Structure 1
Amino acid sequence: MTLKQKVQVVLFKPQGSIDLQGGIALGDEMATVTPQPHQLWVIDLAEVDFLDSSGLVPLVQELKAARQSGCRLVLCNVKAPVRLILELTQLDSVFEIFDTYDDILTIANNNQSLVLAG
């Protein structure tokens, strides 16, 4: 008999810019969710056209908080300008980045690779 833990997906969809103001707003929105072990937090960046260094701080803080709570935080639909900032800061190797939201759901539903790196 095999038991699979159902993964709860929590989706965040920021819009516009993730700068100081946008980063604080995203952090505030994420803080309203009580983290539970085995949750999958997805930040869908499809509608984000700009990310700067002050916007990176809340992203990194939320990644750290998610990991400490036993959650997994991933990014998807990252546009070229935002991806460039992540690459220049080498955060593309820290965050799990998926091309689409459907790619994440496929992995979550198959319960593959859901071991948290710690």
Structure 2
Amino acid sequence: MILTQELQVILFKPQASIDLEVGMALSEQMAGVVPQPHQLWVIDLAEVNFMDSSGLVPLVKGLKAARQSGCRLVLCNVQTPVRLILELTQLDTVFEIFHTYDDIFTTIKDETLVLAG
């Protein structure tokens, strides 16, 4: 018998820049989601072209909340200016970072999880 777990995807798509104001809004948005085991939190940074140090706070808080609840939080479509901030702070080694949104599901499929439609 094969048991599979359905995966619920929660997508966050911040836009423009993640500074103190946008970071606080992102934190509130993530806090509004009740974490459940087997959720995948995706932060799609395709439309984010700038992030300052205050923008790191919601990412780290979100990662901590996800991990404590048995969720998985990943980043995708990280633009060069944001990637530089993550590299400078060495957070690129803490977060799972995927090139594209589709790359996430290729990897997850390889891990034999079934996605909820």
TM-score where L is the length of structure 2: 0.92
Which one scores higher on RCO, CA 8 angstroms, separation ≥ 6? 2
Partner of 1:93: 93
Partner of 2:71: 71
In the aligned structure 2, how far is the partner of 1:9 from the partner of 1:104? 11
Partner of 2:111: 112
- Cα distance change on mapping 1:27 and 1:102 into 2, 3 Å: same
Show CA shifts across 1:59-86 (max 9, x none). 1011001100110000000000000000
- What is the aligned residue count? 113
- Cα distance change on mapping 1:89 and 1:60 into 2, 3 Å: same
In the TM superposition, 1:17-28 aligns within 5 A as 17-28=17-28
- Cα distance change on mapping 1:106 and 1:61 into 2, 3 Å: same
User: Which aligned runs of 4 or more in structure 1 are off by greater than 6 angstroms?
Assistant: none
In the aligned structure 2, how far is the partner of 1:89 from the partner of 1:66? 20
Q: CA RMSD in A?
A: 1.4
Q: CA deviation at 1:107?
A: 2.3
In the aligned structure 1, how far is the partner of 2:70 from the partner of 2:4? 17
TM-score where L is the length of structure 1: 0.91
Percent identity over the alignment is 74
In the aligned structure 2, how far is the partner of 1:113 from the partner of 1:80? 31
- Cα distance change on mapping 1:6 and 1:43 into 2, 3 Å: same
Q: Which residues of structure 2 form unaligned runs of 5+?
A: none
In the TM superposition, 1:16-55 aligns within 5 A as 16-55=16-55
Local SS of the residue matching 1:46: coil
In the aligned structure 2, how far is the partner of 1:2 from the partner of 1:70? 21
Q: Residue 37 of structure 1 contacts residue 70 of structure 1 at CA under 8 Å; is this kept in 2?
A: yes
